[in-house]
């Protein structure tokens, strides 16, 4: 019989607790139903495009601070990615075309007949 002893502290770390009541401001957010009703009725819908949040892993460089060599390097990198994806798309489309051409059409002679 195998026994494993794991010493683990099951206490949760200290958390900050809010002593006040509700900290939300009334009428600051719309429910999904309200947004859809406003859209259907032709009323203005809040602009959600500016509220995108990204993780820390995504690095978006500021092109205003690039020199010409950096811009050329980025251009070549993007062009190689475009070429790679274009090749993948073309290969996929040619495989689909080849599969469609090699399939035998269903005729009464080659259909499975189930009684």
DSSP 38-85: HHHTT------TT-----TT-----GGG--HHHHHHHHHHHHHHHHHH
Residue 45 contacts residue 39 (beta carbons within 8 Å): yes
pLDDT of residue 88: 93
pLDDT tens readout for residues 68-102: 998 899 889 889 999 999 999 999 999 888 887 77
- Whole-number Å distance between alpha carbons of 44 and 18: 35
Nearest to 45 by CA among 54, 37, 55: 37
What's the pLDDT at 84?
Answer: 93
What pLDDT sits at residue 4?
A: 73
Domain ranges of the chain: 66-102
pLDDT tens column, 18-27: 666 666 666 6
């Amino acid at each position: 019989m195998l026994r494993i002893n794991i010493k683990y502290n099951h206490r949760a770390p200290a958390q900050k607790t809010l002593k006040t009541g509700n900290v939300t401001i009334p009428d600051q957010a719309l429910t999904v139903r309200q947004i859809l009703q406003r859209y259907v009725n032709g009323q203005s819908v809040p602009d959600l495009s500016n509220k995108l949040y990204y993780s820390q892993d995504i690095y978006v460089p500021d092109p205003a601070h690039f020199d010409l060599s950096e811009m050329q390097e980025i251009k070549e990198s993007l062009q190689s990615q475009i070429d790679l994806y274009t090749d993948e798309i073309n290969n996929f489309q040619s495989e689909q075309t080849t599969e469609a051409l090699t399939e035998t059409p269903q005729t009464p002679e080659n259909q499975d007949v189930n009684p």
